[in-house]
Structure 1
Amino acid sequence: MSAGGVDQVTRYERPAGRVPGRTPVRVGPLSGVWRPRTVGVTLVGLVLLGLVAAVNVGRGDFPISVGEVVAVLFGGGDRADRFVVLELRLPRTLTGLLVGAALGLSGAITQVVARNPLASPDILGVTAGGSAAAVAVIVLGGGSVAGGGLLAEVGLPVAALVGGLGTAALVYLLAYRRGLDGYRLVLVGVGVGALAAALANWLLVVAEIEEAARGTVWLVGSLYARGWEHVVPVGLALVVLVPVALLLAFPLGALQLGDDTARGLGLRLNRVRAGLVTVAVGLAAVATASAGPVAFVALVVPQICQRLVGGARPPLLASAVYGALLTVAADLLARTALGVELPVGVVTAILGAPYLLHLLVRGNRRVSV
């Protein structure tokens, strides 16, 4: 017993050489694992995000250099530069940054909980439900939304948020059978999302031409004319939900081992899953309420980050950072690449659709083998 105890203590005190790239860290009652590669990938993403965001703020009909943008952000610059940066372009870039971070984090959580790379708010119908609710407000509100009044500023985002949360609750209830199976969750989500999309399309068919045009723009996902009123809600959501997601992230390793193993380790499986799904749905619903359904960010980014860090599951913080990077970069391309401004959702769809096909083809190959 004593020899075994000494050997166990020795192995605990010197674990760094036993698992390459991972070092146990303990701070008071909390413990974790230090992964240098994950930290490095995240820091590189932050640097790229800052650079792309500065370039995006500076591009436009009134061009501003990156140095001048940085000077304005630190309180310098002339009056014209400050107005253009702080009032016109920075809110749009920040909205895209925060929306992308929320979608990337939401997709990472969803894929880990479902243990399925195809699981994301897009596939599970959350964004479709929010979009259907927003289109209903646009069509039924008519001139009130077009006039930019209280219904447009408050009612539209609230409707998208409620629609996304309600759709997620319906998917969860239909998929729950003495537990939550990842494949059943995806299948039910696809079905409910298709119904929500059909409802949105029907509303566009019966709507007047002006209302149908506004609803179509919303369904694509756009950062056009985004102001500080769009930045605040998604920013507050991230401030509240990101710490909750990180606290709930500790059991994610056990979830990857399967339900029976997780229960054997003492994990309250249903409570943990319900909490993580709630956080993921909240992030996706707020993002949809701020910018519409920006497609494929939540699906593609977590898988790319998982391959960058070489982990067994998508990393949460890295997924948030690279989700923001992809959205801001897509907005930059949408505004400048073709000389005509496109909705950001068009660019993310062009980038993400081939990757979805890749996942489907790879899954079919594994099944056939």
Structure 2
Amino acid sequence: MKTQTIDYIITGRRQRKRRWFTITGTLAALAFLLMWAMLLLGNTIYPVQDVLRVLMGEQVSGASFAVGTLRLPRMLAGVLAGFAFGMAGNTFQTMLRNPLANPNVIGITSGSSAAAVFCIIVLQADNTVVSIAAMIGGLVTVLCLYFFSLSKGKSFSIGRVILVGIGIQAMLNATVSYLLLIGDEQDIPAALRWLSGSLNGIQMDEITPLLVIVLIFAPILIVLGKQLSILELGEQSATTLGVRTNQVRVALILSAVGMIALSTATTGPIAFVAFLSGPIAKRLVGAGMSNVIPSGLVGINLVLASDLIGQFAFDVRYPVGIITGIIGAPYLIYLLIRMNRKGDL
């Protein structure tokens, strides 16, 4: 009987591993196809061999500018931002054990956006200053969120975090609206680009800081993926299983906020990508395996697919944030209704 139980556990683990690798590989393959679609499609559709020559550094008439200057930075920004939004959103949702606890809803993205808009409109700063300010704005928002979520007894409530986060988000959105009202006309378009969430006009020099941040923080989230899954069991269970909860939380929060903040500084707050990626990946992968990498891949697919839809599916071209907002808003309403019926709100 004992041997049968062990065999059953081993078989289940193998099945979960096989499913994880299959889903992750499929998501990666789909992301690869969407990346190529971003490079090939446009006002002019270039053959694959011309795109490959441009990527190898050759000068190809017409294709070098369209692919190398316009499409390649746009595609790379979509990949890096989608990966960052997906991983960071899943981190907050898992750590706080609530699908509403994502950077868009609890105000972290709004903090980064408010700081970026302030630098653009008031300080008229360059991209480097804007990026640094966006990261600081996200971190300050997290600190305020934690401080105001503590009760008199110093206990920590997930529900209180979400409610306080929604309030902070409303305050920060009001601040952004005020800055737009007092801003100069020439600064308003740049600020609106941050707020809509767009890949338009991305330059290669904006990709490098985002790439560095992702290369630094993404491995941290991946390595801590197992501890993140244990944190979902609760504080006492995680401590019993040997997880240093305070240290792990600090590392997860700093990594996730860093990725969210700089992604927001580069592309603007692309709506609902951080919100949708984790639940979609969890549904695909199933329980028992780390959800970090699949969430990042889902984020890439959402951003690239939405950008392609925004560019080519309508008579007017829409920013990627508009399309992801259209996709994510109904899911948010459905989730609120379901959680209210279950008594989780």
Indicate whether 1:277 and 2:268 are aligned.
no
Letter in 1 for 2:65: F
Distance 1:68 1:125 in 2: 44
- Aligned with residue 111 of structure 1, among 70, 93, 99: 93
Indicate whether 1:22 and 2:4 are aligned.
no
Give the aligned partner of residue 169 of structure 1. 143
User: 1:180 touches 1:270 (CA, 8 Å); kept in 2?
Assistant: no
User: 1:100 touches 1:323 (CA, 8 Å); kept in 2?
Assistant: yes
Give the aligned partner of residue 207 of structure 2. 231
Distance 1:16 1:237 in 2: 43
Distance 2:158 2:292 in 1: 19
Alpha-carbon RMSD across the aligned residues, in angstroms, is 2.5
Indicate whether 1:123 and 2:123 are aligned.
no
Indicate whether 1:315 and 2:291 are aligned.
yes
Give the aligned partner of residue 28 of structure 1. none
Any idea what the Cα deviations from partners look like across 1:37-56, whole Å, max 9, x if unmatched? 11111111111111111111
Change (3 A) 1:35 1:74: farther
Once the two structures are TM-superposed, the CA of residue 365 in structure 1 deviates from its matched residue by 2.0
- Aligned with residue 187 of structure 1, among 163, 182, 194: 163
User: 1:331 touches 1:344 (CA, 8 Å); kept in 2?
Assistant: yes
Query: How do residues 180-259 of structure 1 correspond to structure 2 at under 5 angstroms?
Result: 180-259=156-235
Change (3 A) 1:253 1:211: closer
Higher Cα Rg, which structure: 1
Once the two structures are TM-superposed, the CA of residue 182 in structure 1 deviates from its matched residue by 2.3
User: 1:234 touches 1:287 (CA, 8 Å); kept in 2?
Assistant: yes
Any idea what the Cα deviations from partners look like across 1:85-131, whole Å, max 9, x if unmatched? 12221011100110000000001110110000111110121110111
Percent same amino acid among aligned pairs?
35
- Aligned with residue 116 of structure 2, among 134, 139, 144: 134
User: 1:306 touches 1:313 (CA, 8 Å); kept in 2?
Assistant: no
Distance 2:157 2:224 in 1: 19
Any idea what the Cα deviations from partners look like across 1:141-198, whole Å, max 9, x if unmatched? 3xxx4xxxxx333222222222122212221232246464322222222121211111
Distance 2:158 2:6 in 1: 34
State the number of aligned residues: 342
Report the more deviating stretch, 181-190 or 98-107: 181-190
Give the aligned partner of residue 47 of structure 1. 29
Residue ranges of structure 1 left out of the alignment (5+ in a row)? 1-6, 24-32, 146-150
Give the aligned partner of residue 81 of structure 1. 63
User: 1:122 touches 1:295 (CA, 8 Å); kept in 2?
Assistant: yes
> Following TM superposition, where does structure 1 have runs of at least 4 consecutive aligned residues deviating by more than 6 angstroms?
none
Distance 2:55 2:40 in 1: 12
Letter in 1 for 2:149: A
Distance 1:307 1:131 in 2: 30
